[in-house]
Amino acid sequence: MLTRFNHVAIVVPDLEEAKNKYKDVLNANVSEIINYEEHGVSVVFVNLGNTKIELMYPYGEKSPIKNFLEKNMNGAIHHICLEVKDIYKTAEELKKKNIRILGDGTPKNGAHNKPVLFLHPKDFFGTLIELEQE
């Protein structure tokens, strides 16, 4: 089912500061800030060649990560993202195994413009897992 690790997402209290820290202190290859109004997040991608770090900050009052940042004011790891070959088939298999998929249970286009699903953290030892079509 899983094919590779895609990224780890970290919610940060100041996206510009986080971007500059990765760029200036760690000499990382970082993107510009991208606002995804439809997802309620602003992000910076730190490209590591074989994987990425996604730095996230709430965008708008209805951001799904707003409460997370309020509970983790200094920032924290939010989720990990793993790739799958066929996200629709994977969704059906997970439902048969009684794994909870957040939202309505169907894949939606994510920040990389590929279909994604989020699995309930209580089903995976406290870790929010994003599955992304490879």
Which amino acid, one-letter code, is at 32? E
Which amino acid, one-letter code, is at 95? K
pLDDT in tens, 107-130: 999 888 899 999 999 999 999 999
Closest CA to 45 of 22, 13, 65: 22
User: 2-133: CATH homologous superfamily?
Assistant: 2,3-Dihydroxybiphenyl 1,2-Dioxygenase, domain 1 (3.10.180.10)
For the chain, domain boundaries: 2-133
Q: CA-CA distance, 21 to 31, in Å (whole number)?
A: 13
Q: Give, in order, the Cα–Cα distances in Å from 74 to each of 13, 15, 71, 116, 131.
A: 6, 12, 9, 27, 26
CA atoms 75, 77, 79, 46: torsion sign:
positive
pLDDT in tens, 3-14: 999 999 999 999
pTM of the entire predicted model: 0.93
